[in-house]
Amino acid sequence: MNLILHIGTEKTGTTHLQNWLCSNKETLSTYGFAVNSSLGRGNNRKLAAFFQNSFDEFHKDHGISNLEEKRKFFDRFLPKLRREIERQSEKHHTYIISSEHLSSRLKHAKQIERLSNFLIPIFDEIKIVAYFRKQSDLRVSLYSTALRNGFASPLSDFQTDKNEDSIYYNYFWMLSLWERAFGYDALYPSIYNREKLVKNDIRYDFASKYLPEIMPFLSAFNPAETFVNESFSAEQAEMLYRLNAQLKSAETDQQIKRLLAEKDKILDMSCLKLPFKKPSDNIDFDSRFEHCNQQFFTHYFSYDTTF
């Protein structure tokens, strides 16, 4: 059996794709594709959580704060996963695992090597699938998420320290770790630009490249939901960060309740959902990654360019 290991990256339509895969799990099974669900519904984050060294919100949500608690939670995790894969191989030719946290949480060569040591003996072929987007566009999308979570400053104050030393933004560095563990031929990187995706949709693009057997029948698949985790317009962003600042200084439950209600209104106002105007500091932010982007495109796309 073959493996499609979709590692993200974050903010490249991953939730949209994962929800679609999950909604069409039974249909995909009839075409020989097994979609994993034991590692998490949609986002198979449990796999990344097992191999990463640090603790994050996944571990906190599952009551894991130290190595002993992690050991108990993941008791016999790999043998169980291997048995599940072997069962699926009886009726399927391809197994699909998807989690953007594989690329964002596994930041060291030894972590990814441990993952490869588990997967390579099980599968006949492994495709490491990843989508990458321009760093300034990624930053804008992350900023929208931060606003949802209470960030109370303009975009110009967001992640001003990020540069090539951040593996999260240095795609050449990130992908080189996966190349070291799985080999160059196992890597299938793509650029995430909605205008250039098949039918401007990550689902169609992913299916056309990695599930070609289903393309003639794709109209019969469950479309799942509309695109999720959209970035905010500039107008929404400004209103939200100012409102978040008021929430931080609110003193009474009544004030907090009123401000949260206002926040919900802003999130739902269609008249504010305009295209996000490119921030003036985008050019400066992108310039920090020119060198690693040239390495990235030259090595993994065989041409000398940038985003």
Please report, for the domain that includes residue 117, its CATH number: 3.40.50
Specify whether 126 is located in the same domain as 263. no
Specify whether 18 is located in the same domain as 31. yes
For residue 229, what pLDDT is reported? 57
Specify whether 115 is located in the same domain as 254. no
pLDDT digits over 55-99, tens only?
Answer: 999 999 999 999 999 999 999 999 999 999 999 999 999 999 999
Q: Is the overall model pTM greater than 0.75, yes or no? A: yes
Domain encompassing residue 8: 2-230+285-300
Specify whether 150 is located in the same domain as 43. yes
Number of structural domains in the chain? 2
- Specify whether the CB–CB gap between 45 and 101 falls below 8 A: yes
Higher pLDDT, 264 or 176: 176
Specify whether 221 is located in the same domain as 251. no
With a CB cutoff of 8 Å and minimum separation 6, the contacts of 289 are 135, 163, 164, 169, 170
Helix (H) or strand (E) run with residue 2 in it = strand 2-6
Give me the chain's average pLDDT, please: 90
Distance CA 111, CA 177 (A): 10
pLDDT at 196 over 60: yes
Specify whether 98 is located in the same domain as 244. no
Specify whether 8 is located in the same domain as 117. yes
Distance CA 296, CA 135 (A): 13
- Confidence band, pLDDT 50/70/90 cuts, at residue 258: confident
pLDDT at 26 over 80: yes
Q: Does the residue 200 lie in any domain?
A: yes
pLDDT digits over 218-250, tens only?
Answer: 888 888 665 555 666 667 777 787 888 787 777
Specify whether 183 is located in the same domain as 247. no
Specify whether 24 is located in the same domain as 167. yes
The mean per-residue pLDDT over the stretch 23-41 comes to: 96
For residue 272, what pLDDT is reported? 54
Q: Does the residue 291 lie in any domain?
A: yes
Distance CA 231, CA 158 (A): 15
Q: Does the residue 187 lie in any domain?
A: yes
Specify whether 29 is located in the same domain as 116. yes
pLDDT digits over 125-168, tens only?
Answer: 999 999 999 999 999 889 988 988 899 999 889 998 999 999 99
Q: Does the residue 307 lie in any domain?
A: no
